[in-house]
Amino acid sequence: MDLLPWFALKEVPGIGNRLFKRLIDTFHTPQVVFNTDVEDLCRVEGISKRLARTILGYPSHDRARYHLDRARDAGLTLIPLTHKHYPPLLLEIHDPPPILQVAGALPVGAAMVAMVGSRKATAYGRQNATTLAAQLAAKGFTIVSGMARGIDTAAHCGALSSNGTTVAVMGCGLGTIYPPENRRLAEAIVQSGALVSEFDYDTPLAAHHFPMRNRIISGMSLGTVVVEASLKSGSLITARCAMNQNREVFAVPGHIQAFQSAGTHRLIREGAKLVATATDIMEEFSVHVHTPEKEVVTPCNITDINPHTDTNPTDLEKFPLDHEEISVLKVLDLYPSHIDDILQTVPMGAGRLSAVLLNLELKGVVVRSPGKLFSLKEEKS
């Protein structure tokens, strides 16, 4: 297949994803689009005479050839709308990407489940995402996420921990790995699954790319699981996309006082299915569950792949803390931990730990609850 016309049509000003799909639905290939006449083009909904003339008079394919060559030189697989390996569920959305650029191997015929959530995830959220993803992947589901910090990273790592398949949809061209500390994770994903982008290889990161990325995450998937999300979280955009695409939406409940769970609780109130175990998800897609089950490796050591953990919602630089206080603060989150559990993590005696916790409480960083429970004080945003 000659892909240059695909890249060229994508470059024409005024041709967005919706119009691109309508043109392909009518003329089957971009080459036919460039070779037709104004009258025939204007029969396509949304194509004016002015836009038709712009298409037919598009001056050069040099820019398109550059982007095509860059993708090929990088060894990417290019999957246009009409290719047999284009994800079938993604074809059903109203604005599918004209071309998917893929590093690795996009699973063919796989049952995909999206998993998204907060970048500032708690330990509770990361553990849930890792475990759910591992269990779903072991049953044959491909886990789709956005490789962001927090829940996305935990979901990818969970799938990999059970020797499963995972797909990361990027908000930039595949020439950029973001966040940069996830480079090793990206390499691991490519070995068993794929990195996917609708953007050209050299396209830099941009804020408006993420909502575009989110519709692909949900569009490829049977359903979307939101593990943690604040009320202003981008994960809620993915959930809305899933709803608009007539896909299932699931939400994992969290602590009622944790801002990271306020968005998931709203989704549950609005009708998202509450998830307590992977079975709550799999029973909705029972026809896709594979047996026998793969061995699930306990997914505790995901920092081997991703050493960066953006887990602490407290900005340590705001407080004059010493080394001991910082070491204690790093093991706490919004979910209360018993002092005995903290003792097992930090290298200090019970008396010294009690003193450090008291100092942190006095500084307004830590909250003490009855029963010798301690948690981070929630930041207001």
> pLDDT of 202-221, one tens digit each?
999 888 898 899 999 999 99
Other beta carbons within 10 angstroms of residue 84's beta carbon come to: 7
Structural domain spans, the chain: 1-73, 103-304, 316-376
d(CA 5, CA 24): 12
Other beta carbons within 10 angstroms of residue 367's beta carbon come to: 17
- Supply the pLDDT for residue 290: 63
Q: Which CATH class is domain 103-304?
A: alpha beta
pTM of the model: 0.78
Q: Quote the crossing angle between the two packed helices 151-161 and 183-192, to the nearest 10°.
A: 40
Q: List the chain pLDDT tens, one digit each, 381 residues.
A: 799 999 999 999 999 999 999 999 999 999 999 999 999 999 999 999 999 999 998 877 899 999 999 999 999 999 999 999 999 999 999 999 999 999 999 998 889 999 999 888 888 899 999 999 999 999 999 999 999 999 999 999 999 999 999 999 999 999 999 999 999 999 999 998 999 999 999 999 888 898 899 999 999 999 999 999 888 788 899 999 999 999 999 999 988 877 788 899 999 999 999 999 999 999 998 777 664 443 333 333 444 454 334 434 444 445 578 888 888 988 887 667 788 878 877 888 888 999 999 889 888 888 888 888 888 876 554
Span between the terminal Cα atoms of the chain, in Å: 51
Write down the architecture of domain 316-376 according to CATH: Orthogonal Bundle (1.10)
| Peptide bond between residue 292 and the one before it cis (omega within 30 degrees of 0) | yes
Nearest Cα neighbor of 225 from 263, 281, 295 is 281
What fold is seen in the domain 1-73? DNA polymerase; domain 1 (1.10.150)
